[in-house]
Amino acid sequence: MNVFEALQYPFQDKEWVGKTLTAALLAFIPVVGWIILLGYGLRVTRQITAGNTRLPRWVNFGRDFSVGVMVATGVVIYLLPLIIFACLTTIVWSIGGGEILLLFCCCVGLPLLIYILIALPLFYSATATYAVTNDFSAFFDLGDRINDITTPPPGRVAELVLSAIFLLALTAIPGSLGGAVALLLFSDPVLACLCLLVLLVPAPYLTGILNMANFHLIGQWGKIIEVRR
């Protein structure tokens, strides 16, 4: 597993400028654009697993959207505890304030971290398998997913988890900046608008690039699964 290869991947294509700018524009469109990016990302995974290192062309947004809906459903399946935690965090903060929120996070933080460490390789395995087989049941076949992550050497699984956490942490940066700007709107709307203008281009661009890198990493894992099978 090579996270730096994944980060370099979006820029190695001769047509990388147009393709990455298209991804940035889609990242700027809530929900619909994000789902299209997931569908495109699955095409990235398929090409990397097959040994093709070029960026896929943007040829059919409708097809990418329909495939992206399936990937998004898979994301929800594996990240459901995190989604519930985010909702509960908002509720606890609104009811009890900062001190209660801190206590709540301390109580659930460790179990949540353990779940992330287990769920990440399972999700990557499910996505890689779905990319190759086009069988959505890959997201539900937990026995096969566990087999995928326990058969390779443990070092490979550790590399996958660490690389995935690193890329996901980078991907969270644009969203975190957007959340900070949203909070700033209540205290200083003028400064918030200025920050929004500054982030208008780089944040969506970074999101699109990191989406490609994440699915490249899934493609790397897909190669390992294919060799084993």
| CA–CA gap between residue 91 and residue 161 (Å, rounded) | 30
Place of tokens 């644009």: 174
Q: Show the beta-strand stretches assigned E in 83-213.
A: none
* Mean pLDDT, rounded, for 212-221: 85
pLDDT digits (tens, 9 = 90+) for 63-100: 999 999 999 998 888 888 777 777 776 676 666 665 66
- The yes-or-no verdict on residue 34 having pLDDT over 80 is yes
Contact by Cβ (8 Å): 127, 44: no
| CA–CA gap between residue 53 and residue 30 (Å, rounded) | 28
What's the predicted TM-score (pTM) here? 0.79
Contact by Cβ (8 Å): 145, 122: yes
**What does the radius of gyration of the chain's CA atoms come to, in whole angstroms?**
19
| CA–CA gap between residue 120 and residue 77 (Å, rounded) | 12
